[in-house]
Structures are given as C-alpha cells and as structure tokens.
Amino acid sequence: MRSEHVVSVMSSEIMIQGETNVNKFGCTLYNPKISDPLLVHSTWSNFSIQFDKLELTYEVRHFDCGMAAMTDDLREILKADNYPNLILKINQINVRRDSEGFEKLKVSADVDVTIGGVKRNMLIHQAYVINHSATDLTLHGEQPLRMTYFEIEPPTKFWGTVRVYDQIKIAFDIRMFVETK
C-alpha cells in the first residue's frame, strides 16, 4: 500500500564516538527542530516500509566534541569547508519479527549516509522505533563503521604519537511527527 505523509522532524541528534591510542571521544550534532516539513511517500508490505524523500541534512559545523580543538579537528576530517553537510537518507525500515510490542519495535534500517561528499549505503541492524503515539515516533539507530569507508584517513596528532582508530560508531535519534496526507 502506497501512502503520502507530511513528516515534521521535532528533534534530531547524530553522535560519532571513537577511540585514539590515548582516550575515547564523542561528538554530537543536535538539531533541536528542522523547520520545513518533508513530503514523504511510503510503501508498506508485510514487515517492511519503503520511503521516498525521507532525507535529513545536518550542517557539519554544528558538531560539538566538548573541546574546541577536537571540534575543529572533526570538522576538518569531515571536510566541512568543501562538504558542509552530512546527509542521512532513510530508504527502508524492516520490522524484526522478534519485536515484542508496538510501543518499541526492533527494526533494521536501510540508509544512505553522505559524509565528506562520499555517499554510502548501510544496513543498520541495531535500530528501533519508539511509538509515543499514533503520530509521534522516534527512530534510533547505531552502527559501527570505518572512517576509510568514507575515504577519510584516520588522523594523527603530535608527530604521530596520538592516532585515531579507523573504527567509529555513528548513532542517531530522530523524533518525528507524521501526518497522513
């Protein structure tokens, strides 16, 4: 069944977590409200929902790592000057059959992520949808990935004595209000 929805993003957060040979780090990009509602088409079939035009754009300059130098480094390695946006496009959500209730559905999400001008498709296995009401929901997902997957060379500092490991984790929380058109 194909339907049309107006999706208003109430809040959205993307987190990047990683490690160096010295410590761990976490950077967050928080958009309290994305003002323009999205016109999204969806197609439902059994335990799967496919989306058209469910694409969110985040300004890389809004990432915050808690320390100015780390924040500047992150923006530099994400190539913010040339590619100011990180894009998350949600293509499909598959409800897992081991979900135990409607309030919190275990799902996997097929998404396209664009970082530093490089677009990659990923299947996020660790995801869920929290249904706050019939029209209010939160999509949460997290996935380990390698920076080199996005053609980003893990940085080094202080003449190579501090090295960022290639493996990072990206996570997102998107709270949406969905109206059927």
How many domains in the chain? 1
Q: Which residue has the tokens 């300004």?
A: 59
pLDDT at 89: 92
152-159 mean pLDDT: 80
Range of the domain at 61: 2-180
Between residues 17 and 37, which one has the greater pLDDT?
17
Q: What are the DSSP calls for 89-149, one per residue?
A: EEEEEEE-TT---SSEEEEEEEEEEEETTEEEEEEEEEEEEEESSSSEEEEEEEEEEEGGG
pTM of the model: 0.86
Rounded to an integer, what distance in angstroms lies between the CA atom of residue 27 and that of residue 133? 30
Say which residue, 125 or 34, is predicted with more confidence: 125
Give me the CATH number covering residue 36. 2.40.128.110
